[in-house]
Amino acid sequence: MTRVVRLEHDDVCVVVDVSGGVPAIMHWGAALGAVDTDTFAALTNRPTTHGSLDVVPALQIVPQHSLGSLARPGLAGHRPGGRDWAPRFTTCSAQVTSHSIDTSSRDEVARLRLDTRIELTKSGALRVSAVVTNEGDSRYLLDALTVSLPVPAQAQDLITYSGRWARESTTHRHAMHHGAWTTENRTGRTSHEYPPMLWWCGTDAREWSGEVWGCHLEWSGNHALLAEVLPDGRRYAQLGELLLPGEVCLDPGTSYASPVVVGAYSAEGLTPASWVMHRAARSHSASAPKPRKVLLNTWEATYFDHDTKKLCALADAAAAIGVERFVLDDGWFGARRHDRAGLGDWVVSSEVYPAGLEPLINHVAALGMDFGIWVEPEMVNLDSDVLRAHPDWVLHAPDYEPVLARHQLVLDLTNDAAYAHVLGQLDALLRNHRIAFVKWDMNRPLIHATSADGAAGAHRQTMAFYRLVDELRASTPMWSLNRVHRVVGESTTVCCNACTVCGLAIASTRSSASASSAGWACGCPTRCWVCMLVLVGRTPLGVRTVLSCARSPHCLAGWVWNVTHANSTTTNNECSAKRLRCTKNIELCCMQAMQFASTSTMTPRWRTVCMQLIAVKHSWPTFRWPLHRRSWCRAGVFLALTPSASTP
């Protein structure tokens, strides 16, 4: 008998059949209203056709070949001699709450147990995962454990991503009528080449309209993605870790857990669905609800030419324009005077910093900024103390010449001694210095990644990285992490623009995570953006304070009111006659800007701003902005457009 469970949150509904050995998602999408689950189950029963199986198997979250499913099997593996290669699971138990379903299933013949979890979170994200356990008395060689999420027939298009360095996340949209699309990432990291995400959507879906179903894999190593239309028209996405040959062999009593697959549904386009993903990611970080700090990174300013006096001057300039975090990049450690030496020796260079980092850190702290530092702990140069002492710590096949990338190799974190060395040096660095932020790079892929035992080591290397971060956070909990190429972190750029009054070059900063921030470094008074009245009490942070109001749902016109009301000596009535009405409707704001641009009271520069705003409006059909398009540089300042109060 079919047992149907329903999970709901706001306008998202998930209906799951838990009676078929492995859970099958019958519906993932819009709320069903008053339709009861029994009626829905009857409506979704698939008829048998000539030449088909007597019972059409459901599309389960871990498809089973042994039931006749034509989907790619979710569990692939075997015991020695090729036995137990296609298990068939029977449900043993199902625990259901208002937001989750946990099931346990067994195959008594193959002596395997499969545990699954389906959760609909408070953010509206669907989280699905599986764990396989070997309950037999011989080893089980695991080839794959992946999770499948079905989508309805109206999901006719597939959106995927590819790229390379400096050309990340190139978007591809495909019409999916039959067959499969698949990609495999073998770089050992999330990679520029094939990010672990995809979208199913209707043919009419756009940024702000149409139904979309997004899928993302919570894993930062090798991965495999599949999207397929079965011969009977059913559609699904399958995501999981790409296991290299022999990487996971389950001894009796041991388990393997698949990475979590996160799903996001929206009936209003890609942008609201992206917000679901954003909220799901933020829910994992204790620091995510806080505003991201504006950051200056020293790399482009200094490269390897480190000097405490010059860096202190750079910190002075950064503080003057409102930077809140100063990050010391590559070149502070060991013999790292160029990119061919020193990597792997995470000790402050006495040659470059004879008094240590404390003078610089103290100077940065006195300016009211956090201090951050750059590391790349998994990497090592041939010309380094650690590799000269321990050449066997490299992650490569012993009988082959290692492949260099950026003049560096990879340290084998699955080697206990190498792991202890990295942990010890990083722990000492973080304990002995006031470091609030770590920029953790991973600048090369894993090639022929082989552990000391001769087996493929990409999976164990990724797990060792997670363990390393967990241990560092536990021992020194005050720092935050920006992981490049593995996890999403903060992103802030420092740009050169021109003063809107005198035209002199100035510096301003923009954070993609926290609305815009800017400050004037010239001697000109700050002026109202529209009426150009001089504002009283100009400070380097004056404009930044105003732009921080971008976190509230105000259009450009509303910010003009905020500027004048907060700082101008004119009365509210005088300013009211000059300002644009804050409509919270950007399109109407553009219409008003068009009218304002024709008035004689606006300076030529700000007439240009309004006309650029109008041009942007006409280049974007709906003129509603997702998070990654919020900040625009116009006439020397950043205009951050927030469309509605629903924006996270």
Average pLDDT over residues 154-177: 95
Q: How confident is the model at residue 535 (pLDDT cuts 50, 70, 90)?
A: very low
Average pLDDT, the chain: 79
User: What is the sign of the dihedral through the CA atoms of 502, 506, 510 and 515?
Assistant: negative
pLDDT reading at 217 higher than 70: yes
- Rounded to the nearest angstrom, the gap between the alpha carbon of residue 162 and the centroid of all alpha carbons in its chain is 15
Per-residue pLDDT at 51: 84
pLDDT reading at 499 higher than 80: no
Per-residue pLDDT at 593: 45
pLDDT digits (tens, 9 = 90+) for 384-405: 999 999 999 999 998 899 999 9
Q: Give the full edge-to-edge strand order of the sheet including 325-328.
A: 295-297, 325-328, 370-375, 437-440, 480-483
pLDDT reading at 105 higher than 80: yes
8 Å CB contact between 472 and 426: yes
CA distances from 174 to 156, 207, 211, 262 (A): 9, 16, 16, 22
Q: How confident is the model at residue 476 (pLDDT cuts 50, 70, 90)?
A: confident
Q: How confident is the model at residue 103 (pLDDT cuts 50, 70, 90)?
A: very high
Per-residue pLDDT at 2: 64
- Taking only Cα atoms into account, the Rg of the chain, rounded to an integer number of angstroms, comes to 28
Range scoring the smallest mean pLDDT among 295-299, 509-513, 529-533 = 509-513
pLDDT reading at 1 higher than 80: no
Q: How confident is the model at residue 482 (pLDDT cuts 50, 70, 90)?
A: low
Q: Rounded distance, CA 469 to CA 475, Å?
A: 10
Residue 65 exposure: Cα atoms within 13 Å on the Cβ side: 10
pLDDT digits (tens, 9 = 90+) for 24-65: 999 999 998 887 777 777 777 777 888 888 888 999 999 999
516-517 vs 100-107, strand pairing mode: unpaired
Tell me the helix, strand and coil percentages in the chain, rounded to 5: 25, 30, 45
Q: Rounded distance, CA 585 to CA 458, Å?
A: 50
Per-residue pLDDT at 45: 76
CA distances from 471 to 177, 213, 468 (A): 48, 35, 5
Give 625 or 310, the one with higher predicted confidence. 310
Backbone angles phi, psi at 627, to 5 degrees: -60, -40
pLDDT reading at 648 higher than 70: no
Q: How confident is the model at residue 478 (pLDDT cuts 50, 70, 90)?
A: low
Residue 38 exposure: Cα atoms within 13 Å on the Cβ side: 1
Give 347 or 482, the one with higher predicted confidence. 347
Q: How confident is the model at residue 110 (pLDDT cuts 50, 70, 90)?
A: very high
Nearest partner of 216 among 231, 189, 198, 229, judged by Cα: 198
Structural domains in the chain, CATH included, are: 4-282 (2.70.98.60), 295-483 (3.20.20.70), 492-640 (no CATH)
- Rounded to the nearest angstrom, the gap between the alpha carbon of residue 554 and the centroid of all alpha carbons in its chain is 27
Backbone angles phi, psi at 523, to 5 degrees: -95, 10
**In terms of DSSP H, where are the helices of 390-457?**
416-432
Per-residue pLDDT at 310: 97
Q: How confident is the model at residue 550 (pLDDT cuts 50, 70, 90)?
A: very low
Per-residue pLDDT at 572: 33
Q: What is residue 169's three-state secondary structure? A: strand
Residue 558 zone, left/alpha/beta (φ > 0; ψ -120 to 50; rest)? alpha
Q: Rounded distance, CA 241 to CA 420, Å?
A: 26
Per-residue pLDDT at 276: 96
Quote the longest CA-to-CA distance of the chain: 87
**In terms of DSSP H, where are the helices of 132-182?**
none
Q: How confident is the model at residue 264 (pLDDT cuts 50, 70, 90)?
A: very high
Q: How confident is the model at residue 313 (pLDDT cuts 50, 70, 90)?
A: very high
Among residues of the chain, what percentage have pLDDT more than 90? Answer: 64
Q: Which residues, 6+ apart, have CB-to-CB distance to 265 below 8 Å?
A: 12, 28, 29, 30, 124, 126, 211, 212, 213, 214, 273, 276
Range scoring the smallest mean pLDDT among 332-346, 365-379, 475-489 = 475-489
pLDDT digits (tens, 9 = 90+) for 398-445: 889 999 999 999 999 999 999 999 999 999 999 999 999 999 999 999
Give 137 or 492, the one with higher predicted confidence. 137
Q: Which two tokens stand for residue 564?
A: 């004048």
8 Å CB contact between 449 and 456: yes
Q: Rounded distance, CA 19 to CA 373, Å?
A: 53
CA distances from 192 to 220, 413, 449 (A): 12, 23, 19
Q: Give the full edge-to-edge strand order of the sheet including 223-229.
A: 147-151, 235-241, 223-229, 179-185
Range scoring the smallest mean pLDDT among 46-55, 337-346, 539-548, 611-620 = 539-548
Q: Rounded distance, CA 509 to CA 78, Å?
A: 55
Average pLDDT over residues 446-471: 95
Neighbours of 444 (CB within 10 A): 21
Range scoring the smallest mean pLDDT among 250-254, 401-405, 504-508 = 504-508
Place of tokens 């499948």: 148
Per-residue pLDDT at 449: 96
Give 249 or 494, the one with higher predicted confidence. 249
Confirm whether pTM is higher than 0.85.
no
Q: Give the full edge-to-edge strand order of the sheet including 248-250.
A: 75-78, 140-145, 248-250
Average pLDDT over residues 229-243: 97
Q: Rounded distance, CA 119 to CA 240, Å?
A: 17
User: What is the sign of the dihedral through the CA atoms of 78, 82, 88 and 90?
Assistant: negative
Q: How confident is the model at residue 493 (pLDDT cuts 50, 70, 90)?
A: very low
Per-residue pLDDT at 624: 32
Average pLDDT over residues 252-264: 98
Average pLDDT over residues 328-353: 97
Give 316 or 610, the one with higher predicted confidence. 316
pLDDT reading at 618 higher than 90: no
Per-residue pLDDT at 617: 38
Q: Which residues pair with 7 in a beta bridge?
A: 14
Place of tokens 């147990």: 113
Q: How confident is the model at residue 491 (pLDDT cuts 50, 70, 90)?
A: very low
